[in-house]
Structure 1
Amino acid sequence: MLARLVPSSASASLALTRARLHAWWEGKDFDAKKLLAEQAAAQRRIAAEEARQDPRLLALAALWGAGRISPFGAGDEGEWLEDLSLESQDLLGIVGLGSEEGFRSLLERHPGPIIGYEWRKQPRLTVGSLVDDFMVEDTPRFACEAFDPEFSTLPKDGVAGLLVFETLAFTYDSSRFLKTIFQAIAPGGAVLLVDYLKATGTIRPSAFAS
């Protein structure tokens, strides 16, 4: 889960020991929880910055703007949430997070919890860097999990609304994928599939995103 990235146990333990000794030497209180949170935030920032340098994301940023992998903008994302008709406390699921600006826009518009599933490493890392901006009582308001559209499953009846973004076009077993998607919707919920497509051959459609 990207929202809870921490250093390895050995390095984290060594850092805690050094910080504890430093606090004792300076006569200050030692807050291990705060230090671990700061380390996790630093790790997320480093991972996100490295991911942003991926040449594919840089090329897409030149086309659609920094932090985006498609031509969709904040206005589109607002309309998607309206189509899902979610209550403020409802759990929103997103398959295919896109990238940080699109995900930030959804976080700003939906005040409830969000669970994200992303099959591309670079967008997952950049989205994970937003966790510190969207906290509720020191708890992340969203989580990001790795997801393979060909093999992964989703919790049954797990979300009130599900946005599937830039994923269906990359899925070969579309029947299995769609079954997985619809089983994840709670009774009375809704699913919205959004794909920006570009034909690249005679076998199947694809998109320039990844």
Structure 2
Amino acid sequence: MAARKALFDKKGLALTRAKFRAWWEGEAFNEEAALAEIEAKLAADPPANDGDPEDELFDELPYEMPPRMQALAILWGDDRVRPGDATADKLEPARIGLAPEGVLAVLGPGLAGPMVAVAAAHPGKIEIFEWREETFEALKHGLKKAKLDERVTASRIDLEAHVFTPASFDGLLSIDDFAYCGYPPHLAQQIMKSLKPGACAVVECYVGFKTPELATAFASSFAEPQIRAHGDILQFFVDAGLALEADEDMTDDFLSTARTAFKQLGEKLAAAGGLEVPVARELAWEAEAWRMRLQLLATRRLERRRFVLRKSADAQPENANAPAG
């Protein structure tokens, strides 16, 4: 009798949740089809006799990736918004020189993919600051799914206005933030202020001269591109008081990673089967934008650079509290 009641309650709760999900997504609800799907799942996984089935009504709804995120996952890999791979991501903590107990700040990872790799290489605390509104919920979901949400925290910020706590990080990683920031001097100075004396920051971004093709190359971006000349970016760091330790040209490696992803796209599409129209549309926009971006990178009208920067070990506390420029 108890098992029958549990089955009835579980079926009713699942149907209620399916109705709510359809309402939330603005979709028509087909009760007959939903009930058939629920019964099939219950037959495959019968409910246990213990526990309170009503608790399930308050469980989190299953997270569904937005079409844009699904398209990016097909092209760049799960939980990624740009070309990259876990092997390269795992090198970042060593490049920064982090001690195992050090606190790492990460700006602009987009989704959880890069963070899973970085967290595998760095056992200490990681604080993420993400400016893309569209990716933030997916980022948090990815961290929770990877069981990193207790050690790795995520906050959404405004690149133009956010003020970091002075001297709070043992290292910092910034990915693409300077390519989308409207006022880079502020961001450079905030990075300087946030680092502890002697700490290192690694900044990865695009550099180049303004050209009409940039509008097409970044048409699928999450924000308007703010691509600046190589020398201008360097000057922002100098003005903020950061010492340049390395200026690395990543363009060829970045091109290779992106081209490999496109070569594998056919196989990925075949494995995925039919795509929903919104996902296919987002994938088409991404591919068209990247066709031009790859062309600009290949002709060196656009470059991918990595800057390794350090705050002076004898930096005075009052410098950390200087007003942002």
- Quickly say closer, same or farther: Cα 1:64–1:176, change in 2 above 3 A: same
The reply to whether residue 192 of structure 1 matches residue 198 of structure 2 is no
Q: Residue 164 of structure 2 is aligned with which of 154, 159, 171?
A: 154
Q: How does 1:85-124 map to 2 (within 5 A)?
A: 85-124=97-136
Shift in Å at residue 181 of structure 1? 1.1
Alpha-carbon RMSD: 3.0
- Quickly say closer, same or farther: Cα 1:98–1:133, change in 2 above 3 A: same
Shift in Å at residue 132 of structure 1? 5.7
CA contact (8 A) 2:106 2:126 kept: yes
Look up the equivalent residue of 2:130 and give its one-letter code: E
Larger Rg: 2
- Quickly say closer, same or farther: Cα 1:59–1:85, change in 2 above 3 A: same
- Quickly say closer, same or farther: Cα 1:198–1:128, change in 2 above 3 A: farther
Q: Could you state the TM-score of these two structures normalised by the residue count of structure 1?
A: 0.68
Structure 2 CA distance for aligned equivalents of residues 197 and 131 of structure 1: 34
Look up the equivalent residue of 1:152 and give its one-letter code: H
Aligned partner of residue 187 in structure 1, secondary structure:
strand
Aligned residues: 166
Q: How does 1:31-50 map to 2 (within 5 A)?
A: 39=59, 42=60, 46=63, 49=64
Shift in Å at residue 109 of structure 1? 1.5
Q: Residue 165 of structure 1 is aligned with which of 136, 161, 175?
A: 175
Structure 2 CA distance for aligned equivalents of residues 204 and 149 of structure 1: 21
The reply to whether residue 134 of structure 1 matches residue 144 of structure 2 is no
Structure 1 CA distance for aligned equivalents of residues 213 and 164 of structure 2: 28
Structure 1 CA distance for aligned equivalents of residues 83 and 210 of structure 2: 18
Structure 1 CA distance for aligned equivalents of residues 202 and 161 of structure 2: 21
List gaps (5 residues or longer) in structure 1. 1-27
CA contact (8 A) 2:107 2:174 kept: yes
Shift in Å at residue 170 of structure 1? 0.2
List gaps (5 residues or longer) in structure 2. 1-49, 223-325
Shift in Å at residue 79 of structure 1? 2.0
CA contact (8 A) 2:87 2:117 kept: no
Q: How does 1:164-183 map to 2 (within 5 A)?
A: 164-183=174-193
Structure 1 CA distance for aligned equivalents of residues 109 and 169 of structure 2: 16
Shift in Å at residue 119 of structure 1? 0.5
Shift in Å at residue 167 of structure 1? 0.9
Of 149-158 and 119-128, deviating more is 119-128
Deviations 1:156-210 (A, max 9, x none): 1111000011211001111111111111001121101012579884598985542
Q: Residue 61 of structure 1 is aligned with which of 57, 64, 73?
A: 73
